[in-house]
Structure 1
């Protein structure tokens, strides 16, 4: 049977005999990018499509979204299990995917079963769910193809066995075996036995073939199912003219007993204001014409004036800011005019071919039809390659940092959102229902919960205290703060651009663009808030955005962090308040709080943990580390307690009154996929995203840290307490004995019960590190209340691994693995070899995205030579890949051509910068540890302080003692460190260069860390010039293989004579200047060099140059310019560099071509 032409059926779900019809198609597409029109034609007549051989790598799988529009997908790639950054971006192969119309999204669930060849999804229908399995079986002809085929059959058998009792199982795909009786190859026999054993019903094309290949035809694409009555209307899609695959698609209807859940969501067009194209003069005029200093007498006047400013800003935006449509309907990819013309011609020829009776392959129409098929595929591949190259060139040409980041991030970003939420065992797929689910979750979280362990008496006392405090501040003698326009202007500068709109449609650009005209009205409103003690209701409401926590199950609403976008004017007001009280939040902050504090970083807490471990291990003492996880810490802050603690900080009582008012009658709405929930009250918690939230939370939790320190439970370095390093709500308890550790846990547990929050007993863990053999423990378990704390051997804290064994080694492995994954993920941006970005741009991406991942947190560890070597191996490998240099290339050249530092230099730079941050932090705990360790530790100590002191000595920098007395500024210290490290490594790498015979032509005096060699920075923004430069880099680094090198480094006897001219030894000079066989390839470029030099120095100059000097000019013009005193300017050097690239590449190409001819001549005409 044959299908209807695309377009005659919409593929939408329709009822048939009171059953639901689900249209399923299957095709081996042989490349999604090269067969996109065919895929989109199948989407017109289907509800689900099973795809084999999409030919996408894992790093580019999101590219499939360009072709799908209002369809979703489930995809696996061949490099699913073993990703590795490649020397060059190769053509993709294999892979499977299932795509479906989003109308049936409520009924679809992807399954974890399968592999990169087999994937499955579930259609939730009654009475039995449907399990669809898409398979792409291994091809025959390889040494292990039979064993791979058996393994795939075994995996398929496992999936069928798992679901057949509860589901109707439907299998589609390319089986790479036939079920026809007239063929019985090994894979055919295996598949026939598999079908028989699993009692599968076969739906095929009868005698029609589904695969047309060079040596004939075969039938290998099938639908199989466990229920024969499930399938109807099987069709062979052999008349879809857009298909360029050698496989013919198949289609069928799956009949269901009950209707599926269908999504009826209406897509809304989304627009974005283009503030960079704003008519600023017109905008400011609109503001100044309608805004004036308000007269405010009553609280309602404040609300009115705030609304007026919102209205004026929105009106000014409508008048002066253009908008851009950012969400289009349908697929992003559209067929080009040329592709549409080929498709039209192919359809016309196909109709003529049908009219004359489907003639054989020798008929002119058959030949023309085939040629048009190849033309269509060729044109699609050309356009995809052109699109990719265009993207690379745009990135390479981009000078603006913001646009550079935008291009990189856009190319790696998927537009997919959460597929389904799991609520009470049921999947919620409609976005409005999901929005309500989130709202119910966050509303429940915002209401204080009852727990029998909570201290209700304490809360009652706090409620009484709060009433007293309110009476006290009502008659306060404190000075009433007057908010000035200057303060408002400073607060406005703190706002970030390009952020989400608030509830009223206002963004920071509205206020920033308004200029000075809006400052006085806002200042008057803020002063009135202070005077009347009334915070407008607009400041108390917000839009809550659920943000998925990376690595957590997206189907669970608890794995979303609620980030609240509050009123922009409210943010400005909070910034003004924060500026006035930030010195008091909290007034006596614990020195072990390393979160949300100016000049302090979380890694300082990690350093205290590492240094404490080192101290206790050195003294042969055990250490017990408890990592506590507070459940939804920010969301359950008790307002009563927080306000009382804030009052006791001694802040201005008028400001306290305003904050009290601000945290009374709070409300939020959830925004999810364009849906907004009903408003709900916030009765506890500080808003994540709020300006005051961090300071308020630190005030709330500070008493716990002080209580722990006063109790003397925990570890010490000398007399300095280190027992509770904390980052915001991330609390670590370090105990020096089992009982000591339990006492600290008891204090933390009691505090949590008083303050009405829960420490999660399952997510909190303890590590027992370095327990001496002669040490006797008094406890066998540790508890949080009645719950036993789990004992772990490894956990992650502040992004770093903490282990019972070697923390440093575990983190080195993890950092390298993380960097490798990041590098691989950036392959789609062109971060690979000779067919990607130019090396200077690739190195920029590597430095910005990969290097920070590789080195994160390692500045807090004492690294041994083995650790640095492991990092160096990866770093060097990555830089070689970026420059397409072989493994044999000298290390010093790999670094200096890019101006890159060795990994040891990068580590030392980060470590010394971190030291400067510690010294400037004025944190007593850190400074006491520095001073103490300096005075008592020997040079052989494993203390971090001694390790850093040795690094300072290595680079002849000031000692820690001097730095503590004369504290350098951030910029001056960073510059001093950078200069010292670069000077040291420049000298070391250049000395290494001088010892390498392969770097004869590389002028080392022009090489410098931080400066890219002209070989790379003069490369044009296109792939061809990058390839030319890579070829020259091989010559320059001595890694281009010629006969003399083969003779020198080969164990066997190799003749060094040139194989092309047989006249002399083949070295670089011979190849580039002397070989007669290559004369035609180099003549044009040598003539151009002669012309340039003659123009600059006069006639006769070029002819008088020795070949050694000419080689210097060709290989490294900087050497010729200095050594031979040619005094060429930058523009001339750049031009000569460009000519030399062309020369090296052209000679290389010609040499390869001629050597291949020589090789064929030796083999003889038959190749024997």
Structure 2
């Protein structure tokens, strides 16, 4: 509990304090004076600027003021780029002050709890203090204080009662706000729901770098030391092969002098700038100058020409101002990691908004040139693709090798600080050999020269840290540059013809950003590891063998376990591993227990004990929270795995249980009634929809490796029953939709497919539920709405968002589902029981034990 600097705990002065007059709990205060050696810290109030309220912005005043400012003489081209950007941001703030009330006011945040206080509590607190004073006075004068004690207890109970009422009112208001926002204001709805999420304090009072501890104000210097070390290249010849670096440096010196470098950058157009501004994400944190995306978006017509002019000046001079090279880095703790170790944090950088626009334009120009040479197995940071595509390749390869009874190993590699250790010289050299020439190459070099960061921790920031290696996580160009950096490794593996294949399609190294997986037979895996070791040493990148894992996903006929090494260290062999959020095991089965645990934990973290209508929360709102926040986590990745009927039953079972709690209905309620009342989809349909969504996405991607896999599976026919295309065929037949071949050859538009699928699903379940309503007597009066999987029953649709209406709707739901037992039924049951009792047991022998059947 106490650090090693604590001294004299045994001599400490421990005192049990008297109960405070307003203390309504069962606990009292204990104080102890403990001598300790600690560094003195200065306590400061957290000072921040209020975010501009853009809903109250007078757009006409904002744009007209900004236009006037931009027309001033000081904006001429004679000024440097740095000065022009500063003047532009100054003009933006000036326009904001004139058009937005209380624009960027400095406010102080005090560290206070979320307690409540009102006039009644204030009066009750005063009465409790007075009663405590009278009681204490009698006790001190050794008089009988029984009456005063009773009075004090009464006053405390009254205070506690008022406190509980206030908390209940606060909770009721919060619930009403969520219900109202769920219908009218989606943004507020998500904001309120996220407030319910469990909050873990990621800030720490101590950091350890090696064996050295940093506390108090020294934590800031610890962060600075950590990121300075991370941003400094390691030239240890025992770890890396420096020949590639020396060659890159030599070539990079010669490149600017080559004739092929006489290629100027095409001037930016207002259309390009406008497109870049529209791509900015809104609602994000401001940059170090207090600018947010909305500043540019709300004045896009006025500000576009000025930004175009400034960026063209950069293209002409090839001089990137220092303000575009700076950034604010915030350490973000990785999931389930020790928060006292700096290496367990991911550094997320906030760059200036102007820098985002500038880098977006460069990225949009580079991507068309670089995309054709990108390895097809790299699915990270690629338009139209996602991490599920990588998982899809792994799953289909595993299923095929199981079907063919061939041994297949899956090996996942862990890259250490992948983004933070990219060597600038090697990166720029690779860009040149990838075809980026002329002034654009020089511009990229200037962007990554003298790059600096400031680390933000709490309300303080460090001095500028010089970054000599690494690309900023959060900057627009970083994703593109990283893909090019590890493209060499993927090309080498593909070119070696090692590893797994689906037909003639090489699927040896499916990759998502820095997550590289190796698939192959045992004789190929070690060779691929040797290729990776060779290139990572030359590229000065580290792979951690201790965190890398290998799993046999298909044992085939004659499986013999082999050990694999990276360098001199052996790769850990496991029975299950997690790859891209999906747990893989030896039998390639879905980990249902883990899914159920995730679903329960997520919904209880969001709603706590409020999983039923009696708390005042409308079941439709609860269902929306379930579908929006829980289902994506609960069922993530199952579209690329094979779910058995038993798996779907268990997943469905939890969803039905949660829905019964939402509706406050008993266990005996018919399952179909839950879905009809809430207008929800069964898990079976959600999985079908997700699989079809993935299938349609792949179908629209020409020349994608995933589409080639589907076409190959289509050609081999029905023999490979567990293939993705055969499973899709069954789903399409189930909903009477076109066959997979038609969709692959001529994929429908998103809008057309969405309507087609929605209609098919509603018809399918409407027919099933109508039959159930005819068979089951408990739901024979339950009418099925039009489009039942997305349209709640009128009982709940007509209920207003208040507790009285919700209680009425709950009562109606119990009546219509046959789960409410009226008094007449209870009386008839009682009469029947008495008749049976009279016939079977003589009156003289009737006892309580007889009644209970004991």
Q: Distance in 2 between matches of 1:829 and 1:465?
A: 65
Q: Distance in 1 between matches of 2:145 and 2:759?
A: 73
> Using a 3 Å threshold, how does the CA distance of structure 1 residues 1048 and 592 change in structure 2: closer, same or farther?
farther
Say if 2:115 is the partner of 1:337: no
Q: Distance in 2 between matches of 1:896 and 1:241?
A: 54
1:968-1007 equivalences in 2 (<5 Å): 968-1004=748-784
1:620 aligns with one of 386, 392, 405: 405
922-931 or 912-921: which moved more?
A: 922-931
Say if 2:523 is the partner of 1:745: no
Q: Distance in 1 between matches of 2:85 and 2:316?
A: 16
Report what 1:376 is aligned to.
159
- Residue 1028 of structure 1 and its aligned partner are, at CA, apart by 2.4
> Using a 3 Å threshold, how does the CA distance of structure 1 residues 284 and 1056 change in structure 2: closer, same or farther?
farther
For the 8 Å contact 2:381–2:480, the answer to whether it is kept is yes
1:388 aligns with one of 171, 186, 191: 171
Say if 2:134 is the partner of 1:352: yes
- Residue 628 of structure 1 and its aligned partner are, at CA, apart by 0.5
Q: Distance in 1 between matches of 2:827 and 2:406?
A: 61
1:690 aligns with one of 475, 486, 503: 475
1:12-31 equivalences in 2 (<5 Å): none
- Residue 351 of structure 1 and its aligned partner are, at CA, apart by 2.8
> Using a 3 Å threshold, how does the CA distance of structure 1 residues 514 and 645 change in structure 2: closer, same or farther?
same
- Residue 329 of structure 1 and its aligned partner are, at CA, apart by 4.2
> Using a 3 Å threshold, how does the CA distance of structure 1 residues 353 and 666 change in structure 2: closer, same or farther?
closer
Q: Distance in 1 between matches of 2:604 and 2:27?
A: 34
1:1085-1164 equivalences in 2 (<5 Å): none
> Using a 3 Å threshold, how does the CA distance of structure 1 residues 489 and 1005 change in structure 2: closer, same or farther?
closer
Instruction: Provide the TM-score with structure 2 as the length reference.
Output: 0.92
Report what 1:912 is aligned to.
692
> Over residues 1084-1108 of structure 1, what are the superposed CA-to-partner deviations in whole Å (9 max), with x where a residue is unaligned?
xxxxxxxxxxxxxxxxxxxxxxxxx
1:302 aligns with one of 81, 89, 110: 81
Alignment RMSD: 2.6
- Residue 474 of structure 1 and its aligned partner are, at CA, apart by 7.8
> Using a 3 Å threshold, how does the CA distance of structure 1 residues 576 and 406 change in structure 2: closer, same or farther?
same
- Residue 381 of structure 1 and its aligned partner are, at CA, apart by 0.7
Q: Distance in 2 between matches of 1:436 and 1:516?
A: 44
For the 8 Å contact 1:423–1:437, the answer to whether it is kept is yes
1:250-261 equivalences in 2 (<5 Å): 250-256=29-35, 258-261=36-39
Report what 2:653 is aligned to.
873
Report what 2:422 is aligned to.
637
Report what 1:55 is aligned to.
none
Q: Distance in 2 between matches of 1:316 and 1:940?
A: 65
Report what 1:268 is aligned to.
46
Q: Distance in 1 between matches of 2:437 and 2:791?
A: 54
Q: What runs of 5+ residues in structure 2 fail to find an aligned partner?
A: 837-847, 849-854
Report what 1:48 is aligned to.
none
> Using a 3 Å threshold, how does the CA distance of structure 1 residues 939 and 981 change in structure 2: closer, same or farther?
farther
Report what 1:677 is aligned to.
462
Report what 1:1103 is aligned to.
none
2:252 aligns with one of 457, 462, 466: 466
Report what 1:1074 is aligned to.
none
- Residue 341 of structure 1 and its aligned partner are, at CA, apart by 0.7
For the 8 Å contact 2:599–2:630, the answer to whether it is kept is yes
> Over residues 390-432 of structure 1, what are the superposed CA-to-partner deviations in whole Å (9 max), with x where a residue is unaligned?
10011111121000011111233638441232233354342x4
Report what 1:758 is aligned to.
542
Report what 1:288 is aligned to.
67
Say if 2:563 is the partner of 1:781: yes
Report what 1:425 is aligned to.
211
Say if 2:581 is the partner of 1:799: yes
> Using a 3 Å threshold, how does the CA distance of structure 1 residues 317 and 776 change in structure 2: closer, same or farther?
same
- Residue 473 of structure 1 and its aligned partner are, at CA, apart by 6.5
> Using a 3 Å threshold, how does the CA distance of structure 1 residues 882 and 461 change in structure 2: closer, same or farther?
same
Q: Distance in 2 between matches of 1:718 and 1:826?
A: 46
For the 8 Å contact 1:862–1:943, the answer to whether it is kept is no
For the 8 Å contact 1:287–1:312, the answer to whether it is kept is yes
Report what 1:30 is aligned to.
none
For the 8 Å contact 1:871–1:903, the answer to whether it is kept is yes
User: Moved runs in structure 1, 4+ residues, more than 6 A?
Assistant: 293-298, 1046-1050
> Over residues 165-187 of structure 1, what are the superposed CA-to-partner deviations in whole Å (9 max), with x where a residue is unaligned?
xxx5xxxxxxxxxxxxxxxxxxx
For the 8 Å contact 1:767–1:791, the answer to whether it is kept is yes
- Residue 347 of structure 1 and its aligned partner are, at CA, apart by 2.0
Q: Distance in 2 between matches of 1:1049 and 1:1005?
A: 34
- Residue 718 of structure 1 and its aligned partner are, at CA, apart by 1.0
1:198-277 equivalences in 2 (<5 Å): 227=10, 229-232=11-14, 234-238=15-19, 240-245=20-25, 247=26, 249-256=28-35, 258-276=36-54, 277=56
- Residue 895 of structure 1 and its aligned partner are, at CA, apart by 0.5
1:51-70 equivalences in 2 (<5 Å): none
Q: Distance in 1 between matches of 2:52 and 2:531?
A: 54
> Using a 3 Å threshold, how does the CA distance of structure 1 residues 255 and 362 change in structure 2: closer, same or farther?
closer
Report what 1:1084 is aligned to.
none
- Residue 279 of structure 1 and its aligned partner are, at CA, apart by 3.3
- Residue 657 of structure 1 and its aligned partner are, at CA, apart by 2.4
For the 8 Å contact 2:699–2:747, the answer to whether it is kept is yes
Report what 1:599 is aligned to.
384
For the 8 Å contact 2:277–2:300, the answer to whether it is kept is no
- Residue 369 of structure 1 and its aligned partner are, at CA, apart by 2.6
* SS of residue matched to 2:550: strand
- Residue 763 of structure 1 and its aligned partner are, at CA, apart by 0.7
Say if 2:590 is the partner of 1:809: yes
Say if 2:354 is the partner of 1:576: no
1:543 aligns with one of 323, 328, 331: 328
> Over residues 671-692 of structure 1, what are the superposed CA-to-partner deviations in whole Å (9 max), with x where a residue is unaligned?
1112111112211111111111
> Over residues 907-955 of structure 1, what are the superposed CA-to-partner deviations in whole Å (9 max), with x where a residue is unaligned?
1011101100111122432122111111214267222221111111111
* SS of residue matched to 1:270: strand
- Residue 255 of structure 1 and its aligned partner are, at CA, apart by 4.3
2:737 aligns with one of 957, 978, 990: 957
> Using a 3 Å threshold, how does the CA distance of structure 1 residues 782 and 794 change in structure 2: closer, same or farther?
same
* SS of residue matched to 1:953: helix
- Residue 450 of structure 1 and its aligned partner are, at CA, apart by 2.0
Q: Distance in 2 between matches of 1:315 and 1:916?
A: 49
> Over residues 842-876 of structure 1, what are the superposed CA-to-partner deviations in whole Å (9 max), with x where a residue is unaligned?
11111101111111000001222111111111111
Report what 1:328 is aligned to.
110
Q: Distance in 2 between matches of 1:366 and 1:458?
A: 84
> Over residues 457-484 of structure 1, what are the superposed CA-to-partner deviations in whole Å (9 max), with x where a residue is unaligned?
22222222222322237851x4541112
Say if 2:713 is the partner of 1:928: no
For the 8 Å contact 1:275–1:509, the answer to whether it is kept is no
Q: Distance in 1 between matches of 2:445 and 2:89?
A: 25
Instruction: Provide the TM-score with structure 1 as the length reference.
Output: 0.68
Q: Distance in 2 between matches of 1:1049 and 1:672?
A: 69
For the 8 Å contact 1:899–1:1012, the answer to whether it is kept is yes
- Residue 775 of structure 1 and its aligned partner are, at CA, apart by 3.8
Q: Distance in 2 between matches of 1:1044 and 1:595?
A: 65
Say if 2:389 is the partner of 1:611: no
Q: Distance in 1 between matches of 2:411 and 2:732?
A: 34
Q: Distance in 1 between matches of 2:366 and 2:376?
A: 19
For the 8 Å contact 1:543–1:564, the answer to whether it is kept is yes
Q: Distance in 1 between matches of 2:484 and 2:686?
A: 37
Q: Distance in 2 between matches of 1:1007 and 1:711?
A: 54
- Residue 292 of structure 1 and its aligned partner are, at CA, apart by 3.4
* SS of residue matched to 2:306: helix
- Residue 645 of structure 1 and its aligned partner are, at CA, apart by 2.0
Q: Distance in 2 between matches of 1:555 and 1:1056?
A: 73
Say if 2:607 is the partner of 1:824: no
- Give the count of matched residue pairs: 827
For the 8 Å contact 1:949–1:960, the answer to whether it is kept is yes
* SS of residue matched to 1:967: coil
